[in-house]
Amino acid sequence: MWLIDTTTLRLVEVRGPENQPYVALSHTWIEGEEVSFQEIWHPDTIRQKAGWAKITNTCRLARERDPPILFAWVDTCCIDKTSSASLSEAINSMFFWYQQAAVCYVYLSDLRAPENPAQLQLEFCRWFGRGWTLQELIAPSYVEFYDKFWICFGTKASLSSILSSVTRIDPVVLADCSLLPSIPVARRMSWAATRKTTRTEDLAYCLFGIFNVHLPLIYGEGEKAFIRLQEAIAQDTPDLTLFAWTAPEDQKYRGILARSPEEFKSCDDIHRVVTPADSLEGFAFTNNGLQITTNLHPTKIGEDDYNYLMDLKCVDLSSRQSDGMYRSVYVRLAKCSRGYIRYRYTTPVLSSMGLWTLKPRTIRIPKLLSTAESQLFETTLPYLFSVVVQNQSGCEMAPTEYQPDHLWNSRCLSFITERHAAFTASIKLKIRMRTKATADVLGFMSSPPAVYPLVTVEIGLGGAPRSTRHPVYGAGSRILGPWSFLWSEGGKPDQPRTPPSTSLTLRGRDDLKVSVSTTTTQRSGFETYGVVIDIRKAE
């Protein structure tokens, strides 16, 4: 770590800065006026720069302290930004360096402090809108504020109320940065929601210290830096408020991660609600996105919009109700071939319902969805293949098996096809007849070049010799079928298609009639297909 000797104004390399008292300067940069690491070695060439005046005043204030402080740290000239290794070390260590400073001087170059402290308007100062200055306010234990004339008008402690109001940072954190981990992730993100940085990547890099994250710097990665930050946070904490962000309506479907701190702007009142059971739950990111075991509550918005709510284990403190309770925060999810995607994400759902009675399930949610991917889902998600099973036989029917199960949407009793030409799925019904035989009904598919689904029905009857083995139905099964049929299309464009049907009779002590008919329905303006399987006693 390089420090400035406050007497000679020369750089000195120090090992173990925690053992060496120093002051730190926090300020906003002026393009072309700051002193670089290379320039400070030649002070005669930089004396006219505004940055040099900031360095000299910082050193003067350090010398005037009792006892004098011999060293100072200024980010513009104490970091060799031409060295990627030095820059990476500095950015990953910056929170610690400010935390170790004996005192931090905040220089507000655009403020003239009023004589009456009540007239102080810090919210208009550029310093409060910059990304890097967030950690520079939180990390140091003692901070002094100076106006444009280097006149001190207060400390972090004396200005705590107004600083909290301007920055939305919790007062307890301003007093003690070691309490940062107790603040929900979403609320910490909200502190940076309105702040700006010169480079896109720095919106993520300036938050490393706030979340105790250490990552390599990859300038040029753009918004991906903020994605990496969120993934790193998820590795360190099971805090689901990471997903409580909101965003403007630029696309209907999104992944689970936010694109920038700005999307956490409305999260300054988020409070975690953690129970002993929640302490065992966690989540992780894989190459398929977020994998999490959670409670999903089925819900419905409109006539055809079936979706789910995921509990984020937090409440919004601004949503206090008449009974004194706060509303919980959920995100709305839609099921798709990739697992689940965030749906109508603009505002997380606030609800008083409890989901603790629901059985947890493990789900996948992609990290991100592009605008093009969202538009594709808008046109393909309405395409479903419905399956309705009506058992009117009086015989016991075991739970139906649906394959592939990740495409089965139990909310609307349909497979998600997304209009894929190679869609293939099957169901397996097990009917327990009095002869202890079983009847299995299996299968339908759509394969190129078919435009309309091909339905295949097979009946597997139990009771055959054990030596008879079928790869699907197992030992002791004999097969009837398969029967295959395709939707037939009328001869004229305006003539409706005639859905085919078939019925099969299973002979035994109980004669059962299994009828399979195909249907076409309108859903969200799209024509979708399905089958109705009716099981009843044969006449």
Cα distance between residue 341 and residue 240, in whole Å? 16
How many Å apart are CA 167 and CA 188, to the nearest integer?
11
Please say if the pLDDT value at position 493 is more than 60: no
Give per-residue pLDDT as tens, 14-57. Answer: 887 778 899 999 999 998 899 999 999 998 888 889 999 999 99
Query: In this structure, are residues 425 and 419 in contact, taking their beta carbons and an 8 Å threshold?
Result: no
Model confidence at 198: pLDDT above 90: yes
CA distances in angstroms from 239 to 176, 236, 284, 325, listed in the order given: 21, 9, 11, 21
**pLDDT tops 60 at residue 122:** yes
pLDDT tens digits, residue range 422-437?
Answer: 777 777 777 766 554 4
What is the per-residue pLDDT for 508?
55
pLDDT tens string 239-275: 999 999 998 777 889 999 999 999 999 999 999 987 7
Half-sphere exposure (CA, 13 Å, Cβ side) for 79?
17
Q: pLDDT category, 489, cuts 50, 70, 90? A: very low
One-letter amino acid for residue 368 of the chain: L
Rounded mean pLDDT of 209-238? 96
pLDDT of 215 higher than 60: yes
| Tokens 């301003």 belong to residue | 174
Mean pLDDT for all residues in the chain: 83
Q: How many CB atoms lie within 10 A of CB 161?
A: 10
Asked if residue 446 has pLDDT above 60, the reply is no
| Structure confidence at residue 498 (pLDDT) | 46
539 pLDDT above the threshold of 80? no
E runs forming strands in 192-288 = 253-254, 270-272, 283-286
Tell me: pLDDT of 345 over 60.
no
Radius of gyration of the chain (CA): 33
pLDDT of residue 525 exceeding 70, the answer is no
What H or E segment, with its residue span, contains residue 299? strand 296-300
The pLDDT assigned to 423 comes to 76
Q: Which two tokens stand for residue 193?
A: 């929601």
pLDDT value at 236 more than 60: yes
Nearest to 229 by CA among 209, 251, 250, 255: 209
Of 12-26, 72-86, 141-155, 474-488, minimum mean pLDDT range: 474-488
**Burial (0-12, 13-18, 19+ Cβ within 10 Å), 480:** middle
pTM score of the predicted model: 0.85
Kindly indicate the confidence band of residue 225, based on its pLDDT and cuts at 50, 70 and 90. Answer: very high
Tell me what pLDDT residue 450 has.
43
Evaluate if residue 411 carries a pLDDT over 70. yes
* pLDDT computed for residue 497 by the predictor: 46
Q: Quick one: average pLDDT of 467-495?
A: 50
Mean pLDDT of 85-97: 95
Token pair for residue 93?
Answer: 């260590």
- Largest pairwise CA distance in the chain: 107
Q: Decide if pLDDT at 346 tops 60.
A: no
- Domain range annotation of the chain: 2-182, 233-378, 382-537
Host H or E run for residue 293: strand 289-294
For 392, the token pair is: 């009117």
Q: Which of the given ranges, 144-158, 281-295, 482-496, has the highest pLDDT on average?
A: 144-158
Q: Is the model more confident about 514 or about 456?
A: 514
231-245, 278-292, 374-388, range with greatest mean pLDDT: 231-245
Closest CA to 216 of 91, 128, 33, 322: 91
